[in-house]
Amino acid sequence: MGIMSELFPSTDMKWHANATKRFASPFVGVPHDRIDVDPIVLAHVATLFGYTIKDFYTKPELAMRLVAYANEFYDLLPVTHWFYSNVWIDSLGAKLEPTETLPYIVMEPRPIQTPEDIDKLHVPDVNEVSKSMCAQLFFRAYDYVTQNIPHMFVPIAFAFCLFGMAAELVGPEKFIIWTRRQPKLCHKLLEKVTETSANGAIAIANKYGFAMLVMGSVLATSSVLSPKGIKEFSFDYHMKYIRKAFKGGAGPQLWYHLCGDHSRDWPIWKDIIVSPFTVLHIGYYEDKPFPGDLMKKEFGDKLTIMVSVDTKIMVEPNFNRVYEQAKNQLLAARDSPRGCILGTACETPVPTNPGNIFALVKAARDFGTYGTW
C-alpha cells in the first residue's frame, strides 16, 4: 500500500482512553464525559485531507487511517471503519466498479435478467465468500488496522440493506414493481442475498474473532413501501440475517441504521432482536430528522438510541443551525435509559463543512450530559 507511518502523527493515547470510556458508557451504564458523536464519516475525510473519493474506496488501508485520524481530529469515536453499500453481492454475480465520485456501483447488465436467473443463482458458502472482492477489501482494511493502529480496531460486517442489495441485482425499479406483481420472486432472491450476507459476516468473525453486525432498511423506507411491505421484504430478512450470523459466530453487537423516511413503519422496528450492545438509528420522520423524544419514548428502555441532525444542512456554512438542531435533539433524548448517541441522519456528505462537525461536538459538550450530571 505504501502508507508510511510517518504521514500520520501517533494517536494521542490520553484522548483515546477517554474516548474509549465515552464510547462504552451507554453499554455499561456508567456515564462518562459526554454523549458520543458519530456523523458516519466516510469519503468526506478523503477530500478533507487531500485525497480523492476514489482513493477512499479503492484503498481501504488508507481509508481506515484517514477515518481514524479524523475521529481524533474531530473528537469522535475511538474506533475506525470503512464500507460501501453494495457489499457481498459480487459473490452473486454483480460486477462492481468504483467511479471518481461514487463507491462500488453495479455495472450493467445486472445479474438477474429473468426470473429463471434467480433459480440459477448459487449461494456461496463461507469459504467462497471469503475469496470474494468484498471480503478481500475488508480483510485488507482490518489487517492494516490490526497491524498499525490496533487500538482503533473493531471488525464490522455490513448488510446495507438486504432489500436494496437484492434490488441492485435486478434493477431497483424492476424489483420494487416485483414486490407488488411477483412477490415470490422477491422472496426467493432475498433468501439468497440474506444467506450470502450472513456468510460474509461469519467469514469476518472466523478471521477476527467476532463481527459487529451493521445493517439497515435503506431502500425499504416509508417513501417506497407500505409498512406491511417493509415488514415482509426488509424487517423479516434482517432478523433472519442476525439469527444465521449469530449461529455462525458473528455478533453479538448490533447496529441498526434506518435511512430515509420511516414515519409510517418505525413501530415495526420495536420488535427487533436486541443484544446487550445494540444501537438503533432512524434517519427521518417524513422530511425532518426523526424526533429524539419519540426515539427515547419508544426504544430507550431496550437499546441505545442514535438521534440525528438533518444531513442536508451539514454542507452549509451555518454552524449555529447545526448546533441548535443538535441541541434540541439532545435535550429531548440525552437521558434515554440505555444511552444516546448524536449523529447525522445518514453518511456525512463529502462536501461537509468541518465547522458543522465541530458544531455537533460542541453541542454534545454543552448539552450531552444525559440530563443527570
pLDDT for residue 1 is more than 70:
no
Confidence (pTM): 0.96
The correct CATH number of 5-367 out of 3.40.50.300, 3.20.20.210, 3.40.50.2300, 3.30.360.10 is 3.20.20.210
User: pLDDT tens digit string along 345-373?
Assistant: 999 999 999 999 999 999 999 999 977 76
Q: Is the bond preceding residue 289 a cis peptide, omega within 30 degrees?
A: no
Cα 277 off chain centre by: 15
Q: Please give the pLDDT value at position 361.
A: 98
User: pLDDT tens digit string along 297-345?
Assistant: 999 999 999 999 999 999 999 999 999 999 999 999 999 999 999 999 9
CB under 8 A, 24+ apart: contacts of 51-58? 52/100, 53/100, 53/101, 53/102, 53/350, 54/98, 54/99, 54/100, 54/101, 56/82, 57/84, 57/98, 57/103, 57/104, 58/98
User: pLDDT tens digit string along 54-96?
Assistant: 999 999 999 999 999 999 999 999 999 999 999 999 999 999 9
User: pLDDT tens digit string along 157-196?
Assistant: 999 899 999 999 999 999 999 999 999 999 999 999 999 9
pLDDT band at 203, cuts 50/70/90? very high
User: In the chain, which ranges are E strands?
Assistant: 36-38, 96-97, 105-106, 156-160, 212-217, 254-261, 278-285, 288-289, 304-309, 340-344
Q: Read off the pLDDT of each residue in 26-39 and give the average, rounded to a whole number.
A: 94
User: pLDDT tens digit string along 320-332?
Assistant: 999 999 999 999 9
Q: Please give the pLDDT value at position 68.
A: 98
pLDDT band at 3, cuts 50/70/90? low
Q: For all residues of the chain together, what is the average pLDDT?
A: 96
User: pLDDT tens digit string along 224-240?
Assistant: 999 999 999 999 999 99
* Beta bridge pairs of residue 261: 284
Cα 93 off chain centre by: 23
pLDDT for residue 28 is more than 80:
yes
Q: Read off the pLDDT of each residue in 272-278 and give the average, rounded to a whole number.
A: 97
Q: Read off the pLDDT of each residue in 142-167 and give the average, rounded to a whole number.
A: 97
Residues in the chain: 373
CA atoms of 272 and 294, how far apart (whole Å): 17
pLDDT for residue 254 is more than 70:
yes
CA atoms of 89 and 135, how far apart (whole Å): 11
pLDDT band at 137, cuts 50/70/90? very high
